[in-house]
Amino acid sequence: MKSLSIYAVGLSALLFSACGSYQKVPYFQDLSDATEVSALAANVELLKLESGDKLNIVVSSALTPEAAAKFNLPLQSTRVGAAESLVANASQSTSPFYVDTKGDIDFPILGKIRVAGLTREELSEQIQTALKSRKLLNDAVVTVEVLNHFVNVLGEVNRPGRVAIVKDNLTLLEAISQCGDLTITGERDNVLVMRKDGNKRRAYRVDLTQAHNVYASPAYQLKQDDVIYVRPNEKRQRQSTPVDNVWQSPATYLSITSVMVSVAVLISNIVKK
């Protein structure tokens, strides 16, 4: 009877350990069906243009498309960086504009335009206004894309790598989703986001198991050059050495428990004799 009690205790410990591990896996554990989540992310901070940006600016016109064409840079495969641009955006039909160190671009006919600090929408409106006020194109439609804004996702995700920021409000969850989600061995309660802040880097910790923590985090909405790192859990870290990995296997503990029970039964039989 005593040996059976030992076996039961060992099995219970294993089951409790398994339950504890499971609790670290699901996202948004603090949510119920009627839960409302307040979010700092509701106030979307629009992407701002800066020196070094590579912009795809296209001017079009329904009435006079020929007149609009002269404001678009012709696509030239020999231009430095053009091949990279084509890879980043296969649908691109014009060469990109480069924001210089002063924060300006050199736009056809209009000349130098200060773009640093503007949003894409603000730059689009500024070009449209300039074209109309100078009577160059009354029905101009201007679209602005940023071709070289990315975040980097590292660690325990299924497809680590670089994720393009193709809109003004790429979120942490969207970036993780584009990388195929976290692996089962990724720490969901300790996702690190490193953000450039002037000449320094600021660190944010995000707990994906708690929705309130996710949506209220300043790192929920990602910015240019953010680095997202998903740390491996303890089991994954121990897999770096074969011995430690053996001790993480439930089969190992079941085998030990079985041996202990067998020894206890053997000793009990010897004592009875």
- 195-224 pLDDT, tens digit each: 998 889 999 999 999 998 998 899 999 999
pLDDT number for residue 41: 47
pLDDT at position 6 over 80: no
DSSP code of residue 183: -
pLDDT in tens, 107-163: 999 999 999 999 999 999 999 999 999 999 999 999 999 999 999 999 999 999 999
What are the distances in angstroms from CA 110 to CA 105, 129, 130?
10, 11, 8
Kindly tell me the burial class for residue 165, based on how many C-beta atoms sit within 10 Å of its own C-beta (0-12, 13-18, 19 or more): buried
pLDDT number for residue 195: 96
pLDDT number for residue 243: 56
pLDDT in tens, 22-67: 567 788 887 776 666 665 444 577 889 999 999 999 999 999 999 9
* Residue closest to 52 by CA, chosen among 169, 227, 224, 200: 224
Give percent above pLDDT 90 in the chain: 54
Comparing 248 with 186, the larger pLDDT belongs to 186
pLDDT number for residue 82: 47
What are the distances in angstroms from CA 89 to CA 51, 70, 219?
20, 22, 27
Comparing 22 with 269, the larger pLDDT belongs to 269
DSSP 3-state assignment of 214? helix
Confidence of residue 90 (pLDDT cuts 50, 70, 90): very low
Are 166 and 242 a contacting pair, CB within 8 Å?
Answer: no
pLDDT number for residue 86: 44
Distance CA 245, CA 145 (A): 48
pLDDT at position 106 over 60: yes
Confidence of residue 16 (pLDDT cuts 50, 70, 90): very low
10-14, 103-107, 212-216: which is most confident: 103-107
Contacts of 20 (CB under 8 A, 6+ apart): none
pLDDT number for residue 119: 94
Contacts of 119 (CB under 8 A, 6+ apart): 46, 47, 48, 49, 168
Overall average pLDDT of the 12-17 stretch: 48
